[in-house]
Structure 1
Amino acid sequence: MENLIKYMLNYAFDHGISYALLDQIDPDYPSVSFTDIGRMVINLNWKNQNEIPFMIGHEIGHFANGDKGTFY
């Protein structure tokens, strides 16, 4: 799973999306996209660790869809 997370984050970076990785926060705090500033914030302490790559993909999707603003 670590390789998949690295792949997804590299994909984001290669497509101009910056990110912050948080691991000291509440496991119920969702990841978010700030498409207006080109940044996503990923909760690495998420309650279901197996969902993290999917969450990263979901956040990248906001950029791919051309969503505007902040979604959380």
Structure 2
Amino acid sequence: MYLPSLDIKNFVEIFRESEFLPKFASDFHELHIGSWEGMLTKIITFVVSLIGASLPITGYLLYFRRRCKA
């Protein structure tokens, strides 16, 4: 299998000339702000983000409880 050597200039030119990057950026932005479908997906995005935001808090609580028992 032949893989051409890619330096950063070639890599940037490939994405600059393609139509992939603008579509990817647009889709990623919609996913990031939670507007990629209707109300159901907004609710799902909100719940998933709340779970992600609670992970550091619950991790700290578990650590603190274990540390106090020892």
Structure with the larger helix share: 2
Q: Which has the larger radius of gyration?
A: 2
Which structure's residues are more often strand, by fraction? 1
* Greater relative contact order (CA < 8 Å, ≥ 6 in sequence): 1
> What's the TM-score, normalizing by structure 1?
0.31
**TM-score (normalizing by structure 2):** 0.31
